[in-house]
Chains A and B, each alone.
Chain A
Amino acid sequence: MIPLLDVAELEVRFPVRQKAGLARRTPSFVHAVDDVSLTVAAGETVGLVGESGCGKSTLARTLCRLIDATAGSIRLEGREIVDTHVRRAAKAPWRGDIQLVFQDALDAINPRMTAFQAIADPLKRLRGVRSGPELTATVTEVAASCGIAETLLGRFPHQLSGGQRARVGIARAIACRPKLLVLDEPTAALDVSVQVVILQLLARLKRELGMSYVFVSHDLNVVRMFCDRIIVMYLGKIVEIGPADEVFRHPRHPYTRALIQAIPSGIPGAAPQAVIEGEAKSPIDPNPNACRFVGRCPNEERRCSEAAPPFVSLSRTHQARCHLLRGSE
């Protein structure tokens, strides 16, 4: 069976502005997404985690075709969508099937639209619903399912609290019932109670409509509970990929280990867990012949700075990119 989403060797680079007056050298690039391959099956939830700046939002936006890739392929239900340029993608027939919930709700909502208009907008544009009682009913229902009170629907974004805005962003994205919903930190601005409501709502939509999710989050407890599989990124590359419970129980890449160790324990006054030393290397023109975790890795060896590590299969469904791991096969 073809997966809902099939991404192969995706690459996204941004040119770096040069200091004025400097003689033109070879141009530099931010390697935001590098050699990323992944699949999402119908009804599957894939979590995407990693250090701030590692390329999660860029990947999310590229999947939704809001950014053009510099190389690679993105297939939605077998159809190649990577070549459709960003401007044309907005009107593509599959546009309603893949929706993004933005990291920053203010990015998604036109400041001149009320909450009602913001939720109605994609229904009108992508699903051809006309203004009228049907539209009103759908908007009110979607809003209610995301915990947005009717009294808030007439407000403009600046009159809503951060969490209220985030809910409008989610309602807007699920209004047209996409097949794949890419959520970029959808619950970061939400309080725990609304977060439960939203996560349980998403879980229900998945059960009832078979919706699939790519779920970007920094809250690893949420990712563990909500996702079937998890992808860990580091500086533009996937470093580990596998079933969520397995990755949490037996993280294999040293970065994944550090990440899981740093989850706040919730114990009053507990000294925060040991964190990795140093800082990430620059994503600008990284050395292609070295592991990107070099310099922070506790187990580093010489070969780590001499060659990029290969993907090692730890089981049929679990892989990590590290020189020091041995495959199971």
Chain B
Amino acid sequence: MSQVPLLEVEDLAVSFATRAGRVPVLDQVSFRLNKGETVAMVGESGSGKSVTAYAMLRLLDRAGRVDRGGVRFAGADLLALTDSEMADIRGREVAMIFQNPRAALNPTRRVGDQIGDVLSRHGAVPGHQLRARVVELLDQVKIPDPARRARAYAFELSGGMCQRVMIALALACSPALLIADEPTTGLDVTTQAAVMALIRGLAKSRTMATILITHDLALAAEQADRVIVMHAGHIVEDAPTAQLFAHPRHPYTRALLNATPKTSGALDDLQAIPGGLPDLSGPDVPPCRFVSRCTQPIDACSRDPLPRLVEGERRVACHRPLEAA
């Protein structure tokens, strides 16, 4: 399968200026995404999932900097575009659902008007149809009473409704790539199922590719074609969904699965992953950043550069991967 990928992230490295000096946050992040493909990005909090998305869309805050690497989207080198070219792509061809919907919405503007703004900025619908289209979009994400709710401000909506407004905003222009950062975190499971069905439907009918950033491994399992596992700014595993869940190769992936609540079992059966993410601002970050938490480290882990094993469609960054079964 030598399809030209829609998105190619190559050796991306990002750092942030902090009081304690420059902290490298992403390192050697590489992955690809085909047209219409859905890939889930999982990994613990602080592992760099959102930063990866922000870096791709050039939305890092001022302290952040891309130190190395490239992002190609539909043939364009996103990191080399002018700001206005980038602004053009953002919202129209690549859309993002932000992790914190209430903060991402403008508090002083009615939510319907905000969606209208996006539509008219990209000339997506003629002016006289704007209102109707806005209400239709809100209806699509299952906001009850959409015509009235279009007139509400963000603070008048529940957390989950803000989330759905964000989704409506992102989908307004039928993007080719949707980056959804925890799109269903604030939603109950029935609404979550409806929203994911909506995203999946669009992905199918318009061959929209999706990056689904989530903590919910069960959701990732159900929705994604492929799963990328991040840990401390590295991609440690990248594999087709069924293979990853059946036989995780990286010890961190297995640990994540053991920490996930299931539909049966008790709280005490769940195992937290020992230790925390290493302090990346320090001088001697080991090549494998999982080594201090790993159940089966060998000498090479803290000595040699991290290997990138490729096996068919799977990639794993580990000196001693688990049995493939």
Contacts and interface: CB of A to CB of B under 8 A. Distances in A.
Interface string B195-224: 011000000000000000001111101100
A264 B61 contact: no
B99 A200 contact: no
A268 B160 contact: no
Contact of A151 (B20, B156, B218, B259): B20
Contact of A266 (B142, B197, B217): B217
Interface in A158-215: 158-159, 161-164, 166, 185, 188-197, 199-200, 203
B159 A103 contact: yes
A56 B141 CA distance: 20
B260 A266 contact: yes
Interface string B41-64: 001111100100000000001010
A298 B281 CA distance: 56
A57 B158 contact: yes
Interface string B273-297: 1001001010000000000000000
A100 B269 CA distance: 28
B191 interface: yes
B267 interface: yes
B188 A50 contact: yes
Interface residues of B, number: 72
A276 interface: yes
Given A17-B151, A262-B190, A281-B144, A185 B159 contact: yes
A158 B61 contact: yes
Interface stretch (A35-43, A70-78, A221-229, A299-307): A221-229
Interface string B167-191: 0000000000000001001111111
Interface of B: 16, 18-20, 43-47, 50, 61, 63, 99-100, 102-103, 142-145, 148, 151, 156-161, 163-164, 182, 185-194, 196-197, 215-219, 221-222, 241-242, 245-246, 255-256, 259-263, 265-268, 270-273, 276, 279, 281
5 contacts: A104-B102, A192-B256, A203-B267, A224-B263, A263-B189
